[in-house]
Amino acid sequence: MSLLHAEYLKLSRRKLYPMMAGLLVFLMGFIGVLFYVLLPALPEAAGAGAPVPDRPEAFEFGAQQVAGQAWWFAVILATAILGGELATTVWATGLTRDSRKVNHIAARFSVFTVASWLAFILGTVVWALITFIAAEGSGSPTTGEWLSLLWKFALVAGAWTAIGIGAVALTRSVAVAMGIALGISFLDSIVAPFVDFYETVSLTAATNGIFDVGGEGPFSGFIPGGEFTLTHSLAVMAGWAMLGFGLTWWGLRRRDA
């Protein structure tokens, strides 16, 4: 608990987090207003059919949009903070020589994941408000459906946080770690639709799987993970998180502080 408290204290005064959360909220708000207020108001768009789902599907569509932003949010948060710590010997001391290395990694992983998770919820709330006011249709997800978003966001946040801390622990460079995470995100989404074997372990596919993206429709063949079972998606997410966690441990162990 003391390590979690320390990590909470450290994150609580970081300007990076409110800035990033503000950016996520702005993005979600902007997209929501664009889709549900501006585009429907344009004369040339009238009658062309809504480009996005009406209520109640609009709410889940928003959650999918938030999940699509997850990689950058969790990765930047994790790499910037852990990378900054590793550049400062006093904290690197604790990370690299302390016998509680696994505890240190787990504390950071937990706090970064929760921080990203809260931001995702905030983004979803903003989207939901805009949708509730401006979207066509009626109805809203059940309480159970809302609650299911909580663990789905936690999984996505955890997987990308683990990738972020793993990359920075290996490279000791925030910029390189972000580049690696960007590369993973890009290649993962590019390769998965075309390579069947890779699709089964793709993080993009697993994310699509738990958010029910691409299961049906004319382009479903190009959206990986649409046919994933929940168990399969969970296993892939957990696998990526464990890989990132393991790489973090190894990265901190193999190099001098």
Partner 1 sequence: MTAAIRVSDLRKTYGATEALRGLDFEVPGGQLTGFLGPNGAGKTTTFRSILGLTRPDSGDIEVLGLRIPGELPVLTKKVGCIIEEPGLIKAHSGRVNVEIAADTLGFGHDRIDEMLEFVGLTADAGRKADEYSKGMRQRLALAAAMLGDPEMLILDEPLDGLDPAGQHAFRARLRTLVEEGKTVVISSHDLADIEALADHVIVIDKGRLVSQGPLEDLLGEGRMRVVVSDVARASEVLKAIGMDSIADDEGLWVEASDGSEIIRALTAEDIYPAEVRRARNTLESVFLGITGEGDL
Q: Kindly tell me which of 78 and 223 has the beta carbon lying closer to partner 1.
A: 78
Prior bond to 56 cis, omega within 30? yes
Of 65-73, 87-95, 149-157, 171-179, which segment contacts partner 1 by CB under 8 A? 87-95
Q: Kindly tell me which of 55 and 104 has the beta carbon lying closer to partner 1.
A: 104
Q: Is 15 exposed, middle or buried (0-12, 13-18, 19+ CB in 10 A)?
A: exposed
Segment 2 to 31, residues that bind partner 1, using CB under 8 A = 2-3, 5-6, 9-10, 13-15
Contact 257, 97 (CB under 8 A): yes
- At 141, is the secondary structure helix, strand, or coil? coil
Q: Kindly tell me which of 232 and 255 has the beta carbon lying closer to partner 1.
A: 255
Q: Is 115 exposed, middle or buried (0-12, 13-18, 19+ CB in 10 A)?
A: buried
* Rounded-to-integer distance, Cα 222 and Cα 78, Å: 30
Which of 44, 47, 99, 229 is in the footprint of partner 1 by CB under 8 A? Answer: 99
Which of 18, 48, 98, 215 is in the footprint of partner 1 by CB under 8 A? Answer: 98
Q: Does 110 interact with partner 1 (rule: CB under 8 A)?
A: no
Which of 65, 69, 96, 204 is in the footprint of partner 1 by CB under 8 A? Answer: 96
